[in-house]
Amino acid sequence: MFLNLLFPNRCLECGTMISAEELVCEICFEKIHFTHDDFNDNNLLKERCKLLFPVENAFALMQFDKESLSQKIIHNLKYGSREKIGKILAEWTSERISFENGKPDLLVPVPLHPRKLRKRGYNQLHLFTETISRDFEIPFDLHLVRRNFYKKAQAKKRREERIQTENIFSINKEVTNKHILLIDDVFTTGNTMASMAWEILKSENNTVSVLVMAMD
């Protein structure tokens, strides 16, 4: 309580004091560009994924517009040492996504390279994944996929300098006959997600769907 008085939680957008469990105030919440995707139907994210790999379903929570509040939220999650933002984004997702045509068998977030994990101190997708798992009673595996190479964050590169991510991932154990929901923060070129998806699809009868916090 004393710390809350000294260091009150403030809206990421306008700076208004808000409760410790909130991310933005009620007024600024209306500025967030939610996609209103239907996980079980066609949408823009699914169409973009289909150009890169076979996908069952796809859902993006927000639109990642330049200089937008959604961009500010993701950047605070990844680079601002605010891991708990992942839980809030997961709760927003749970309110908007439906698995009415059948739940995935397993949730798998995109891994960080161990070097980057040590530097950041946390994987920004883990708390998000664990919250979705709890809300829908779907098991998760944080270590199914391994990242083989360390490189700078995609967001800090000029678009023309981004490289293909072939062979960047490996599978740590055999998984077959599973519908796996791949989880990432921002879908940009789709190269990272495609590389991870193809590794999983190498195993017999696996299928993949995609869930991202935001779509560029």
**Tokens standing for 216?**
């560029």
Task: Tell me what pLDDT residue 158 has.
Answer: 52
pLDDT band at 66 (very low <50, low <70, confident <90, very high): confident
pLDDT digits (tens, 9 = 90+) for 73-87: 999 999 999 999 999
Residues 127 and 148 both lie in one domain: yes
Residue 65 has a pLDDT of: 87
Let me know whether 49 and 110 are in one domain.
yes
Is the pLDDT at 17 greater than 80, yes or no? Answer: yes
Confidence (pLDDT) at 152? 60
Total domains in the fold of the chain:
2
Range of the domain at 3: 1-31
CATH of the domain at 76: 3.40.50
Statement to judge: residues 73 and 170 lie in one domain: yes
For residue 6, what pLDDT is reported?
53
- What mean pLDDT is predicted for residues 27-47? 96
Higher pLDDT pick, 131 / 65:
131
Q: Let me know if 116 is exposed, middle or buried by CB neighbors in 10 A (0-12, 13-18, 19+).
A: middle
Query: Mean of the pLDDT values across residues 127-143?
Result: 98
Share of the chain above pLDDT 90, in %: 83
Check pLDDT > 90 for residue 166: no
Burial 147-170 (b: 16+ CB within 10 A, else e): beeeeeebeeeeeeeeeebeebbe
pLDDT of residue 115: 93
13 and 44 both lie in a single domain:
no
**2 has a pLDDT exceeding 70:** no
Are 26 and 19 in contact, with CB atoms under 8 Å apart?
A: no
Q: How confident is the model at residue 215 (pLDDT cuts 50, 70, 90)?
A: very high
26 and 43 share a domain?
Answer: no
7 torsion bin: left (phi>0), alpha (psi -120 to 50), beta (else) = beta
Same-domain pairing of 56 and 84: yes
